[in-house]
Homo-oligomer: A and B are copies of this chain.
Amino acid sequence: MSKTVPVGVSGRHIHLTQEHIEALFGAGYQLTEFKPLSQPGQFAANETVAVVGSKGEFGTVRILGPARPASQLEISRTDSFALGVKAPVRESGNIEGTPGILVKGPAGEVTLEQGVIVAARHIHFHTSDAEKWGIQDKQELKVRVGGERGVVFEHVIARVSDNFALDMHIDTDEANAAGVKNGDQAEIID
């Protein structure tokens, strides 16, 4: 049985706490939805912020909603060199000991004390997909993507939940190295 999964390419983006949203956009501010993401309930917001590192900055970083318990900036390794921030490869939410960064919004600034990461590549599985294919939560998989630039990604982390939709998340470096784009197919080979 071929185990194929659609690829979703994550550009740099930020998740913010409600407290940080209000510090950046004003008291009582609520994010507004630009478009839904593949994972149920998640959305790209209309709002963007600037992030400022020691070597460079990005003026327009998309906020993904809804608000989260901890703020987190997800960038590619290419971005980390451009910003001058030594961001480690981490699973989302695992930000202890990671570097921080200055974030600027239209109504104010926030200095994150931590939370800048390069997201570890992963696949979201609905529980039913994982059961069908015999895949466990947190299992590491090998996944082939791409054509003329074909690549096998090792250490792809399985994340299983009833709240997830089947989707492989890689960043722009990984997508560009493999020559793939949103909606291309990946195959779990091991």
Contacts and interface: CB of A to CB of B under 8 A. Distances in A.
Given A176-B173, A178-B177, A148 B89 contact: yes
The secondary structure that dominates the A interface is mixed
A55 interface: no
Interface in A141-173: 144, 146, 148-155, 171-173
Interface string A114-125: 000000110000
A174 interface: yes
A20 interface: no
A154 to B, nearest CB: 4
A78 interface: yes
A15 interface: no
Contacts of A153: 151
A104 interface: no
Contacts of A179: 77, 89
Contacts of A173: 78, 173, 176-177
Nearest to A152: B152
Contacts of A152: 151-152, 154
A76 interface: yes
Contact of A151 (B77, B78, B151, B176): B151
A13 B23 CA distance: 42
Contact of A150 (B149, B154, B172, B174): B154
A154 B151 contact: yes
14 contacts: A76-B78, A76-B176, A78-B78, A78-B176, A121-B149, A150-B154, A151-B151, A151-B153, A151-B177, A171-B177, A173-B173, A173-B176, A176-B177, A177-B178
